[in-house]
């Protein structure tokens, strides 16, 4: 590149006659040494390693051998491409990157220069400010794209590196890899299923815009007609005894994301959206608290009725919940006892110390430390025993007024658990939440996220058909989750699950995406475990939490629910259903024969 350089700048030009010109390589490593090792030139290191300092051909720099074990940004899942020509060195990218994956550095740049009245080409190098990708597996680029978003000149881009060696370098030191977000599992059975039975002529479709639809679903134990405690009194039907409590709720539940896993602004956004949907839009949407308790102000408010309070094996937050009971002015929508979750079945919850901020310590009553829940509820050694004890104590705590449900990870054995609950003669269980392998989490071991669990639809189908075989379908409402809405079409996924036998679905990741989460199933971000969420959703760092606009997020969630509500109706109308089509698998066809066979629905090609 030819350039005119002013005489006053000449002192900054480092003469290196005989050295070939070199430009930035996108990693901020312009010199040959950096290109190989990603290390800055370090004579002392070279001496320690006993390597020679080359002086031949006028090259006054260190040349070191490349060791395969040395890391380099090309080993990482994302590479940073940076354009020195357009970059204005504002530093926005570096200050925005929460992972410390890029840093400013000096870079030697070769140039052919001209100076004086009679220009004469001069080979020279100059030192420029550059953006360099950090060569440290602890600070690897997550591909979140925040640097790209804030760059005023579009000069920096993360690019996915399909030839990375990250699984090999990330385990240095003997620690298993941990991650948050979602598993890298892309198979979506939903996409093989279409709504194929359309009412026409003799059984005409409904009008989604004008017809009245009933989209409510029960949370609570359903009894067969002959077991209902009802009797006639002067021609009126009155209750003659205790009946299991039932809430009629919207069939899409905001799934379990704890105060702690989420930032306080994110939680507040969801809480605002839930209140608005219930009180202004007439949609009785409920939200699960996740493990970790709830703020006392919420526990003792009227809004508690919109929440399902979760209790998990760590019992985090329950001390405060129990203490708040005398001040509660209303009951919660339900209690959810978490046995397992789809993202890491067989593993307990994990809240890394980085996220245990003072308000989390107060709510959970813990010091700042990694908070690990055991993989199961301690002291309970069989399904029957566990269920009886937990449900009885939970029911007793709320005087048998609140439905109590159980959440398990989908697994080869989950039908057996469901069967035990369905046959329970005391009608204790008010809901069965089944979480599939594509569920997300705040933090997990990567090996669990990517390699354990069970896809949700076949297990949903197994549970539902098993109940049908016994004539007990509907006794325990089935709620399913794990990957619902991953492609943005939550209503479509929910509708298909309902036709396969679910009474409702729970979803979580999609609400984070509505808040601006940049993570995806293809390996982007998923750093929810680090406490450095670049958009302020899963962090407790006040500087990052400030990036989240509470009102805007709440608005997005409300808008999405309103759209999904109409989309559900647009799917119910063509099959002629004005109430939820639970178990109407005749409405579905599969474009895949194995899927059709496994789910017992029609195959279409």
Segment near ligand SF4 (CB under 6 A), from 59-67, 143-151, 242-250, 544-552? 143-151
Residue 306 binds to ligand SF4 (criterion: CB under 6 A): no
**Among 145, 196, 375, 576, which residue interacts with ligand SF4 (rule: CB under 6 A)?**
145
Residue 293 binds to ligand SF4 (criterion: CB under 6 A): no
Segment near ligand SF4 (CB under 6 A), from 142-150, 269-277, 334-342, 351-359? 142-150
Give the residue with the Cβ less far from ligand SF4, 143 or 290: 143
* Minimal distance, residue 445 CB to ligand SF4, in Å: 16
User: What phi and psi values does residue 462 have, to the nearest 5 degrees?
Assistant: -60, -45
**Among 113, 124, 130, 141, which residue interacts with ligand SF4 (rule: CB under 6 A)?**
141
Give the residue with the Cβ less far from ligand SF4, 309 or 548: 548
How remote is the C-alpha of 592 from its chain's centroid? 28
Q: At what angle do helices 456-469 and 414-422 cross, to 10 degrees?
A: 30
* Minimal distance, residue 169 CB to ligand SF4, in Å: 17
Give the residue with the Cβ less far from ligand SF4, 87 or 537: 537
**Among 64, 71, 79, 99, which residue interacts with ligand SF4 (rule: CB under 6 A)?**
99
Q: Which two tokens stand for residue 405?
A: 């449900």
Q: Which candidate, 132, 127, 139, places its Cα nearest to that of 156?
A: 132
CB 343 within 8 A of CB 182: yes
Segment near ligand SF4 (CB under 6 A), from 44-52, 91-99, 353-361, 594-602? 91-99
Q: Which two tokens stand for residue 563?
A: 């759209």
Q: CA-CA distance, 518 to 520, in Å (whole number)?
A: 7
Residue 405 binds to ligand SF4 (criterion: CB under 6 A): no
Q: CA-CA distance, 352 to 578, in Å (whole number)?
A: 46
Residue 477 binds to ligand SF4 (criterion: CB under 6 A): no
Residues 536-595 interacting with ligand SF4 (rule: CB under 6 A): 537-538
Segment near ligand SF4 (CB under 6 A), from 202-210, 338-346, 520-528, 546-554? 520-528
Which ranges in 454-549 belong to alpha helices (H)?
A: 456-469, 490-499, 509-514, 542-545
What letter would DSSP give residue 74?
G
CB 527 within 8 A of CB 604: no
**What does the H/E/C string look like for 550-605?**
HHHHHHHHHHHHHHHHHHHHHHHHHHCCCECCCCCHHHEEECCHHHHHHHCCEECC
Residues that bind ligand SF4 (rule: CB under 6 A) add up to a total of 30
Q: Which residue is nearest to ligand SF4 (CB)?
A: 519
Neighbours of 224 (CB within 10 A): 10
* Minimal distance, residue 200 CB to ligand SF4, in Å: 43
Could you report how far apart the first and last alpha carbons of the chain are, in Å?
Answer: 59
Give the residue with the Cβ less far from ligand SF4, 161 or 313: 161
How remote is the C-alpha of 65 from its chain's centroid? 42
Half-sphere exposure of 587 (CA within 13 A, CB side): 24
Residue 343 binds to ligand SF4 (criterion: CB under 6 A): no
Segment near ligand SF4 (CB under 6 A), from 296-304, 516-524, 575-583, 589-597? 516-524
Neighbours of 7 (CB within 10 A): 8
**Among 337, 410, 525, 544, which residue interacts with ligand SF4 (rule: CB under 6 A)?**
525
Helix (H) or strand (E) holding 271: helix 264-279
Residue 512 binds to ligand SF4 (criterion: CB under 6 A): yes
Q: Which two tokens stand for residue 458?
A: 């076949």
What x/- string results for residues 155 through 194 when contact with ligand SF4 is judged by CB under 6 A?
---x---------------------xx-------------
Segment near ligand SF4 (CB under 6 A), from 32-40, 333-341, 463-471, 522-530? 522-530
Q: Which two tokens stand for residue 413?
A: 């054995």
What letter would DSSP give residue 160?
E
Residues sharing a CB contact under 8 Å with residue 567, sequence separation 6 or more, in sequence order: 489, 491, 492
DSSP for 415-448 reads HHHHHHHHT-TT-----EEEE-TT--EEEEEHHH
* Minimal distance, residue 309 CB to ligand SF4, in Å: 23
Residue 517 binds to ligand SF4 (criterion: CB under 6 A): yes
Residue 142 binds to ligand SF4 (criterion: CB under 6 A): yes
Q: CA-CA distance, 538 to 531, in Å (whole number)?
A: 6
Residue 501 binds to ligand SF4 (criterion: CB under 6 A): no
Instruction: Identify each DSSP E strand in 330-370 by its residue range.
Output: 334-338, 350-351
* Minimal distance, residue 518 CB to ligand SF4, in Å: 5
Q: CA-CA distance, 413 to 506, in Å (whole number)?
A: 21
Q: Which candidate, 253, 184, 182, 254, places its Cα nearest to that of 442?
A: 182
Give the residue with the Cβ less far from ligand SF4, 93 or 363: 93
* Minimal distance, residue 130 CB to ligand SF4, in Å: 14
Residue 80 binds to ligand SF4 (criterion: CB under 6 A): yes
* Minimal distance, residue 529 CB to ligand SF4, in Å: 8
What x/- string results for residues 228 through 267 when contact with ligand SF4 is judged by CB under 6 A?
----------------------------------------
Segment near ligand SF4 (CB under 6 A), from 4-12, 137-145, 211-219, 474-482? 137-145
Q: Which candidate, 40, 32, 27, 106, places its Cα nearest to that of 74?
A: 27
What x/- string results for residues 526 through 545 when contact with ligand SF4 is judged by CB under 6 A?
xxx----xxx-xx-------
**Among 26, 84, 143, 482, which residue interacts with ligand SF4 (rule: CB under 6 A)?**
143
- Lookup result for tokens 């195959």: 603
Q: Which two tokens stand for residue 176?
A: 């298993």
* Minimal distance, residue 510 CB to ligand SF4, in Å: 12
**Among 124, 146, 170, 337, which residue interacts with ligand SF4 (rule: CB under 6 A)?**
146
What letter would DSSP give residue 488?
S
Helices (H), strands (E): how many in the chain? 18, 27
* Minimal distance, residue 145 CB to ligand SF4, in Å: 5
* Minimal distance, residue 57 CB to ligand SF4, in Å: 35
* Minimal distance, residue 476 CB to ligand SF4, in Å: 32
Query: Given the rule CB under 6 A, which residues bind ligand SF4?
Result: 78, 80, 96-97, 99, 101-102, 141-147, 158, 180-181, 512, 517-519, 525-528, 533-535, 537-538
């Amino acid at each position: 590149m030819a350039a005119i350089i002013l005489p006053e700048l000449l002192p900054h030009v480092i003469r290196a006659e005989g050295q070939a010109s070199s430009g930035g390589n996108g990693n901020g490593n312009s010199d040959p040494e950096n290109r190989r090792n990603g290390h800055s030139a370090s004579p002392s290191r070279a001496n320690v390693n006993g390597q020679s300092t080359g002086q031949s051909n006028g090259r006054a720099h260190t040349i070191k051998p490349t060791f395969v074990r040395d890391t380099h940004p090309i080993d990482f899942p994302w590479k940073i491409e940076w354009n020195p020509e357009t970059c204005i060195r504002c530093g926005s990218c570096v200050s925005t990157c929460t992972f410390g994956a890029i840093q400013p550095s000096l870079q030697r740049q070769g140039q052919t220069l001209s100076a004086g009245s009679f220009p004469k080409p001069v080979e020279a190098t100059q030192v420029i400010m550059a953006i360099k990708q950090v060569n440290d597996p602890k600070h690897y680029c997550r591909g979140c794209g925040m640097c790209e978003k804030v760059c005023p000149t579009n000069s920096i881009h993360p690019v996915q590196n399909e030839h990375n060696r990250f699984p090999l370098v990330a385990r240095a030191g003997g620690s298993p890899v941990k991650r948050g977000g979602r598993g890298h599992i892309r198979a979506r059975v939903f996409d093989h299923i279409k709504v194929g039975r359309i009412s026409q002529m003799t059984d005409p479709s409904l009008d989604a815009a004008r017809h009245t639809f009933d989209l409510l679903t029960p949370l609570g134990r359903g009894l067969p007609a002959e077991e209902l405690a009802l009797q006639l009194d002067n021609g009126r039907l009155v209750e003659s005894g205790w009946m299991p409590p039932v809430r009629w709720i919207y069939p899409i539940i905001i799934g379990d994301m704890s105060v702690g896993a989420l930032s306080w602004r994110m939680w507040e956004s969801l809480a605002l959206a839930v209140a608005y949907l219930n009180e202004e839009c007439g949609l009785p949407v409920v939200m699960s608290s996740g493990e970790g308790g709830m703020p006392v102000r919420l526990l003792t408010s009227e809004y508690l009725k919109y929440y399902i309070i979760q209790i998990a094996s760590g019992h985090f937050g329950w001390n405060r919940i129990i203490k708040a009971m005398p001040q509660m002015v209303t009951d919660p929508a339900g209690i959810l006892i978490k046995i397992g979750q789809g993202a890491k079945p067989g593993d307990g919850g994990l809240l890394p110390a980085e996220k245990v901020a003072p308000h989390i310590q107060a709510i959970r009553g813990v010091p700042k430390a990694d908070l690990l829940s055991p993989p199961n509820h301690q002291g309970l050694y069989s399904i029957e025993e566990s269920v009886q004890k937990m449900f009885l104590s939970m029911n007793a705590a709320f005087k048998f007024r609140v439905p109590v449900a159980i959440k398990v990870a989908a697994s080869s054995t989950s039908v057996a658990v469901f069967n035990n609950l369905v046959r329970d003669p005391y009608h204790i269980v008010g809901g069965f939440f089944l979480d599939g392998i594509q569920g997300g989490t705040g933090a997990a071991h990567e090996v669990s996220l990517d390699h354990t669990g069970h896809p949700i639809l076949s297990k949903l189908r197994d549970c539902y058909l098993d109940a049908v075989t016994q004539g007990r379908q509907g006794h325990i409402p089935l709620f399913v989750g794990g990957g619902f809405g991953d492609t943005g079409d939550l209503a479509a996924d929910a509708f298909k699950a309902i036709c396969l036998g679910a009474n409702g679905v729970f979803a979580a990741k999609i609400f984070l995406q509505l808040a601006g989460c940049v993570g995806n199933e293809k390996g982007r971000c998923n750093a929810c475990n680090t406490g450095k969420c670049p958009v302020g959703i899963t962090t407790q760092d006040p500087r990052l939490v400030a990036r989240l606009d509470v009102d805007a997020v709440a608005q997005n969630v409300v808008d999405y629910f309103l759209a999904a509500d109409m989309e559900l109706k647009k799917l119910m109308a063509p099959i002629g259903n004005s109430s939820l089509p639970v178990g109407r698998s005749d409405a579905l066809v599969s474009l895949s024969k194995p899927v059709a066979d496994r789910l017992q629905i029609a195959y279409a090609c």
